A = this chain, B = another copy of it.
């Protein structure tokens, strides 16, 4: 019943250029992607996932991965990352001036199968090789674990499988694990139960949270995570990305909304609000539709 203490600063992992754009039907022209990422770089964000080296047939929105990765102006103190699903993707990534690669799998078998067309065990074999090769080529690796709080096909997800895969990914050599609430079903109690289990095994700075706001609970889940000492959060500027399972519904937690709440709580993000907002308006204009974030809808006033 007492006032809680929160971390004094938080690192936001901007995933809009990858996770946001890959779930939008509009193809943003390559030069606009590059300009947008350059704007994000100048906002004070220190981590940007810029694209995905998946097969362009799967995700046409990001078919210009190489050109984007090579075209951006890299700022000092910013880590530029790209998603890679397999060795083929890694080879493309290694040919690009990105700093970090992200590997991903699901904590639920059905979602992994649908998303990656492999079993979880098969995927682990692939990711172990990708991670080893990436490290050998002096890239750091970030892991994404999807459907940690629920699966669109199976419903509940076993926390023991979440723990097993967390161990598996860290054993491969990832630097940081992002726990994904892929369909937006996490709640603060569930978040704290999962984090309590994982933080017995790994320090807080190794864990990032990736919330979706489909049912309006993302910000409460952020708060629950902050209370557990988590200081790393994934988000997408303007809430770009929507929800692939329900057109019109929300997907990724919006970077601008997250930045607003953190800043109002006195938690430092190192981001300049005006530059973040300009970058949101820029991509809104290119998407040619209203973005989903509260700060955009409200008009970005204080």
Q: Which residues of A contact B (CB under 8 A)?
A: 1-4, 6, 185, 187-190, 192-193, 196, 199, 213-217, 219-220, 222-224, 227-229, 243, 246, 248-250, 254, 257, 260-261, 264-266, 293-295, 297-299, 301-302
> How many angstroms from the CA of A250 to the CA of B190 in the assembled complex?
27
- A249-B298, A265-B187, A266-B189 known; A216-B1 Cβ under 8 A: no
Q: How far is the CB of A219 from chain B (nearest CB, A)?
A: 4
> How many angstroms from the CA of A189 to the CA of B265 in the assembled complex?
6
Cβ contacts A to B, 9 pairs, < 8 Å: A3-B193, A185-B264, A190-B264, A214-B294, A216-B254, A216-B293, A220-B222, A243-B298, A246-B298
Query: A220 contacts which of B220, B229, B299 (Cβ < 8 Å)?
Result: B220
Using Cβ atoms and an 8 Å threshold, which residues of chain B touch A248? Answer: 297
Using Cβ atoms and an 8 Å threshold, which residues of chain B touch A294? Answer: 213-216, 249-250
> How many angstroms from the CA of A2 to the CA of B257 in the assembled complex?
26
Query: A224 contacts which of B192, B217, B223, B298 (Cβ < 8 Å)?
Result: B223
Q: How far is the CB of A154 from chain B (nearest CB, A)?
A: 13
